[in-house]
Structure 1
Amino acid sequence: MSAAPVAPVGPEDRWRGAAVALLTFSGLGLGHVLLRRWWGALACWLATGLLLLIALPATPSGVPVAVIVIYLLFLLFAAARAAVLSLRRPLTWPASPQLAFGLAIVLLAVPICGTILFDNARQEAVQRMLLSQLAQADAAIATAETQSADTAEPAYLTALGTYQDLLDHHRTSRAAKQVPARLTAFYQHVSAPYSNHDYCNAIEPLTFLRSLPDATISTSDLGSLATFPNDPLATSLYQCGVNALGANADPTAARDLNLLLSTFPTSAQAGKVEPAVAAAISAAAGNLTGSDPCSATATLTGLGTQAKALTSSTATVSAALTKDVATDGSDIESGSYDCAVSDYKNGKFPDAQTAMDAFVSTYPNDPNKALAQKFSIAAQIAQQDADAGKVVPTLTSGGSVSITISNDSPDPMQILYTGPATGTISIDACASCKTYGTDLEGQQNACNDSSVNYPKTSFTLPPGTTYFLQKSTGTNVRSYSHSEQYDAGSVYDVCAFETSIFGNLGL
């Protein structure tokens, strides 16, 4: 049995060793192929195939570093082993070691080009991943746009955080280059209520845009968008606040205008707040002489409440607002009187009495106090006798008609009258008097007992029709009203008495 042939061994050739090493390091196993070391070539092919299986298709994260390190160490080992084996083993092809080395240099382009192509594929995967993140943020914003502000805000912040992450870590990516346009569209959409002149509903979204934390989206990346909400927000606060000025004392006015005065104190909008308040007060005051002074007074009352709630750190504005409050208070004073007079003239006698009494109590030094008291008296009488309400009270007093009223009653008497003159008189109770069983009995016997010193009072009136209302403090005694026509220069003595059923004014 003959032995297997042994390959001839020649002198060491370092060119050959270098060529075989480079051919092996290319990952194609060609060094081992030229040496006809097929198991070594197969090992190289398997290692390279496994690497390709792990690496492809390319992903944003690329190939794990550990895999690359192991693969390179394997290639170094295989290349070193092939170089050692080739030092004294001639190649069947090519004949020249230098030519083999040149071929090895050329073939290195294969793994280099493969690496470049793989890196390009990985970068494209990264770009697609970033574009997907951008699309997800866009979708989140689109969904949030249909939700309420409270629900939408977290989604907005998350999406903006994605935009900022793209700018911070992938600024040169295709996705990041689209972020400025996305931000502009986002700001335009969120501020859409302002663009539609829906100023009250624009305040919240504009405030949200203005108060975005720098950690969510940086001011430098926002550029001009960082200050974009300021003027629209100031305008919205002004418009919404001024439109809420009026009779119902809507707290929206003070809330929005105070926010404007404190947030944008030097803005043109803030400068218009006090003039707007003054104009509203002036317009309402002008309506006091119109057909509905009560509505005008209610408006002034609401404006006064709102004006008192306004504050400004600017001394001149603060002083002007204080003056507006004082002006409004003066207008309310006159308006309260005018409203009560209007109620009286329109037959709303209970309202007129209540309003006049409140006016006298609230404004004891007002020049109209005395006449307001007359209107209150007339309104009380008119509630019992509507004809009395046809007479508008004046400050007239005295006259040529002399009237004396005696009280034949165990209770004090109050006599209210209106007509050519309006007033009230009081008569003390008669201690020795009693109530009568019937009205007829009272008319026959009242004030006829010469032994009784009946309390009495006298006063004078102008001639004409006078309307009376007798009021007693007795229990279960009703008021009694009637009217009398008096002639000039005449003298009248009357007696007031009570029955067990109702009070009466005897003649």
Structure 2
Amino acid sequence: ALLLLALPADANGVPAGVLVGYGAVLLAAAADGARRGLRARLPLGATARRLALPLAVVLLAAPAGATVAYGAAREEAREEAFQQSLLARIDTADALVKAREGADFAFSERDYRTALDTYERVALDHPDSRAAKLVPERMDAYFASVSTPYAQKKYCEAVDPLTHLRSLPDSVDKGVLGNRADGLDDSLARSLYECGAAEFGRGAIQSSYGSFTELASLFPTSEHIGKVERLVGDGLRKAAAPLGEGSASDPCATTEQVRKQRDDVAGLKGYALAGPVADAGRAVQKGAFSCGAKQFRDGLYSEAVTSMDRYAKDYPDSPQAAHARTISIAAQIADHEPAAGKKLPPATAPGGSRMPMVVSNDGKESVELLYTGPVTGKITLEACGTCENYGTFRDVVDPDAKPCGGPSSKYPKATLRLPAGTYHFLQRRAGGGFAVAGETKTSKASVEPGYTYTNCLYVTTVR
């Protein structure tokens, strides 16, 4: 009955209740045997009686030997169960790796790390187990699974998993990892380049520069550094070419795009791109001037002033800086008198004789006089300390007062020397910029050879 209950041997052994019951049966049998033996009167000879002791030894040895044999079988069963549990852990880790193969690494990393930790713990904690002997093969499968995007040439998707594999020597036991992480530098460098190049090709410039920046940071001597320099440099020169050639249909938008791209390229660390950046800078300079000129021709005078003032500020040593300032002046006049914007001011002043025009200020505030025609410019006249505005109150006090009627020496004045031609003038409070209506005055005058001209500015109070 005991054999039927105990066999085959289980890792947990025979239930304790069965053993206790069996022990009780043995004790009862022994007591009954002692009782019967002590009382028995057997008609046996001395020879037969001498067999009692060996028989007793056999009877004792049989269960004792069986107990030892059973214990050995139980330990074997216990070891087998333990081995099976380790193999089950390996199988569970294998299932995680298989399920995540080719999936987005951001969502798979946790499961991958769980599987990797299982392999490492089994190999280190139970090195002689059957499961531990499977770990090298499983580690090869792990690397193959994680690097699937690279094998499929999905380079952008390969960057994160390759970065993970490359970092394993810092966290995984060398005996478990082996040399599997060797050679990943080349794979990661290629992935960063190919990913950045693909992004660059479809216009995702910022994303591509992120990949290129990481490439230069991690692998400054990689062969892919030169490829990036050629790719980015040629791309910048291509983008800037319409500005340099003057063929951009929208020089304002193109200039801003190239300016931003140039600044981004200049910010790429670890690359020799000074040449393309300088070329793009020269193209941006030409584009900035073309932008302001086009705005002027299109009647966008306020925008033209902003563009040309910026040009003169950004490129003060440019041969076109002076021309930019004259276009800005003409645009300010044209903003109040559109007839002044029919054509760009000339880049160079005409030759020939010039006629003097003496401009005086009969006003108690300083004023600016802007003019454009054959030549364009601006002068500022200081305030007349003894002058008053003309208007109702002054007419009552001094009804005979006439604008600019005092002695010439009384007024602040300046002399312009103007070539013959038609001029547009804008008078405004000094420093007023784009003054509001009522604070400016426009006028038009013709300058002819052989004459001297005077122009006196004054302020009339609104009645």
Structure 1 length-normalised TM:
0.64
Deviations 1:227-279 (A, max 9, x none): 464334213333455646999994x6665434322322232212223223322
Q: Is 2:258 the counterpart of 1:306? A: no
Which segment drifts farther, 279-288 or 144-153? 144-153
Aligned amino acid, residue 457 of structure 2: A
CA shift, 1:162, in A, is: 0.8
Matched with 2:336 is 384
Matched with 1:421 is 375
Matched with 1:90 is 51
Matched with 1:470 is 427
Aligned amino acid, residue 420 of structure 1: P
Aligned amino acid, residue 256 of structure 2: A
Q: What is the rounded CA distance, in whole Å, between the counterparts of 2:151 and 2:428 in structure 1?
A: 64
Q: What is the rounded CA distance, in whole Å, between the counterparts of 1:465 and 1:87 in structure 2?
A: 157
**Contact kept? 2:252, 2:291, Cα under 8 Å:** yes
Distance 1:431 1:493, change over 3 A: same
Residue number among 284, 293, 308 corresponding to 2:239 in the alignment? 284
Matched with 1:272 is 227
Q: How does 1:219-368 map to 2 (within 5 A)?
A: 221=177, 223=179, 225-227=180-182, 229-241=184-196, 243=199, 250=206, 256-288=211-243, 289=246, 290-312=248-270, 320-368=272-320
CA shift, 1:195, in A, is: 4.0
Aligned amino acid, residue 397 of structure 1: A
Matched with 1:4 is none
Q: What is the rounded CA distance, in whole Å, between the counterparts of 2:281 and 2:200 in structure 1?
A: 19
CA shift, 1:286, in A, is: 0.8
Matched with 1:498 is 459
CA shift, 1:351, in A, is: 2.9
SS at match of 1:211: helix
Matched with 1:434 is 388
Q: What is the rounded CA distance, in whole Å, between the counterparts of 1:117 and 1:495 in structure 2?
A: 125
Q: What is the rounded CA distance, in whole Å, between the counterparts of 1:346 and 1:62 in structure 2?
A: 102
Q: What is the rounded CA distance, in whole Å, between the counterparts of 1:89 and 1:365 in structure 2?
A: 132
Q: Select the structure of larger CA radius of gyration.
A: 1
Distance 1:280 1:463, change over 3 A: same
Aligned amino acid, residue 231 of structure 2: A
SS at match of 2:386: coil
Q: Is 2:83 the counterpart of 1:131? A: no
Aligned amino acid, residue 291 of structure 2: C
CA shift, 1:114, in A, is: 7.2
Distance 1:158 1:174, change over 3 A: closer
Aligned residues: percent identity? 32
CA shift, 1:375, in A, is: 1.7
Aligned amino acid, residue 214 of structure 2: L
Matched with 1:159 is 115
SS at match of 1:212: helix
Matched with 1:459 is 416
Matched with 1:407 is 361
SS at match of 1:395: coil
CA shift, 1:221, in A, is: 4.2
Deviations 1:334-386 (A, max 9, x none): 44333333433343333332232232223221222111111221222222233
Q: Is 2:338 the counterpart of 1:371? A: no
Q: What is the rounded CA distance, in whole Å, between the counterparts of 1:420 and 1:462 in structure 2?
A: 7
Q: What is the rounded CA distance, in whole Å, between the counterparts of 1:495 and 1:269 in structure 2?
A: 71
Q: How does 1:42-191 map to 2 (within 5 A)?
A: 52=6, 56-58=9-11, 89-90=50-51, 121-122=77-78, 124-138=80-94, 153-168=109-124, 169=126, 173=130, 177=134, 180=137, 183-184=140-141, 187-189=144-146
**Contact kept? 2:90, 2:119, Cα under 8 Å:** yes
**Contact kept? 2:96, 2:112, Cα under 8 Å:** yes
SS at match of 2:379: strand
Query: Is there any run of 5+ residues in structure 2 with no aligned partner, and where?
Result: 20-46
Q: What is the rounded CA distance, in whole Å, between the counterparts of 2:295 and 2:410 in structure 1?
A: 43
**Contact kept? 2:365, 2:384, Cα under 8 Å:** yes
CA shift, 1:283, in A, is: 1.9
Deviations 1:9-58 (A, max 9, x none): xxxxxxxxxxxxxxxxxxxxxxxxxxxxxxxxxxxx97x889x48x8423
**Contact kept? 1:397, 1:461, Cα under 8 Å:** no
What is the aligned-residue RMSD (CA, Å)? 4.9
CA shift, 1:160, in A, is: 0.2
